[in-house]
A = this chain, B = another copy of it.
Amino acid sequence: MASGMDDRTTRVLRHIVEDYIATAEPVGSRTISKKMGQALSPATIRNIMADLEEAGFLAQPHTSAGRVPTGAGFRYYIDHLLARQSLARGEMDQLHRAAGEGNGPADELVRQVSRLLSNLARQASVVVVSSPEQQVLSSVRLMRAGVERILLVTVLRGGWVQHRLIEGEPDLTGDDLEKISAYLNELAEGRTLPQLRARILDELGKEKARYDRVMGRALAMSARALTDAAPGEVFIEGRANILEQPEFAEDVHRLKRILRAFEEKSVIFRLLDRAMESRAIQVFVGLENSVEELSDISVVASGYRQGASSVGGIGLIGPVRMDYSRVIPLVEYAASLLTTMFEDR
């Protein structure tokens, strides 16, 4: 269907979308005519606009208003007409610096980058960290945490740290913990979490008799603790930027919906998981993103990887009227930056 649009028509569409992105106001034929150097009169533009409206790319809030791009209009613009802006040198530097400051564990790093991404794009930013089950373990340790509690700490290659608390094990001595930890750590070497789990169970069956009961129990307990995958995490930064957008400033109801969605991690997760799988950047416009609460907002997101496996996604959330030409390269760069950062971690 889109194939039926000639060059002139698409140029008009592009100008309308861009003007609307810039002003957040319905745009009229006069404006577009001027913008195109008066090569076409307003009347001609109006004819074209009528066509575009019929095709579903534009809509009128009311008869005497200008046109506003529909979801489909934005979609077409993004897919076919978008002229990507290249990032400013300074912005790239800033992102690099932010990544450099993410000195702590891996989630510090992703949060730091997300925070800056949010500021540069003037939108709310979201990172998700999927529980990286395919990641190779760096080390594993049982640590005493109070009288009746033991903390199972796992560190994955790349700097992901996870905790699991194990309750009600008062009679393991410090020496026991040392011994078991060393053993666990040895088993963990070069393995992923599920592999370690399997390995422990294996050992437990095979050599159960060889070890004292304490060791057996501790291993079983570790295996159990490793069974519940650490839940993925979601960090949202720059919520306040949402308020900067005029569409939300007016309409408190929409604002409420989106802030509520932010409170529900699962919603955000659903939102980004499609982006995490794919290597390319993804843009979900309005209704497309299938999360009812967020039917009138857009998500621009991309997965980031560690080696071959994807470990999470980073992106921006905002009104459908977003400056995609700027925002898409930003997200893309942030994601690839994270990917490179994890290469030498």
Give the interface of A toward B (CB within 8 A): 103-105, 138-139, 141, 143-146, 149, 151, 153, 155, 157-159, 161, 163-165, 167, 174, 178, 182, 185, 237-240, 243, 249, 252, 255-256, 259-260, 262-263, 345
Q: How far is the CA of A178 from the CA of B259 in the complex (A)?
A: 47
Cβ-defined contact, B243 with A165, below 8 A? no
State which of B139, B143, B238 has its C-beta within 8 Å of the C-beta of A144.
B139
Cβ-defined contact, B240 with A345, below 8 A? no
Cβ-defined contact, B157 with A151, below 8 A? no
Cβ-defined contact, B178 with A105, below 8 A? no
State which of B144, B155, B182, B260 has its C-beta within 8 Å of the C-beta of A178.
B182
- Taking CB atoms, residues of chain B closer than 8 Å to A143 are 138-139, 141, 153, 155
Cβ-defined contact, A240 with B252, below 8 A? no
Cβ-defined contact, A345 with B238, below 8 A? no
8 residue pairs from A and B, CB less than 8 Å apart? A105-B151, A138-B143, A145-B155, A151-B155, A151-B161, A153-B153, A161-B163, A240-B263
Cβ-defined contact, B259 with A243, below 8 A? yes
Q: How far is the CA of A238 from the CA of B161 in the complex (A)?
A: 27
- Taking CB atoms, residues of chain B closer than 8 Å to A141 are 141, 143, 153
Nearest Cβ distance between residue A240 and chain B, in whole angstroms?
5
Q: Which residue of B lies closest to A151 (CB)?
A: B155
Nearest Cβ distance between residue A320 and chain B, in whole angstroms?
20
Q: How far is the CA of A165 from the CA of B262 in the complex (A)?
A: 30
Q: Which residue of B lies closest to A185 (CB)?
A: B174
Question: A164-B104, A259-B239, A263-B239 are known contacts. Are A145 and B138 too (CB-CB below 8 A)?
Answer: yes
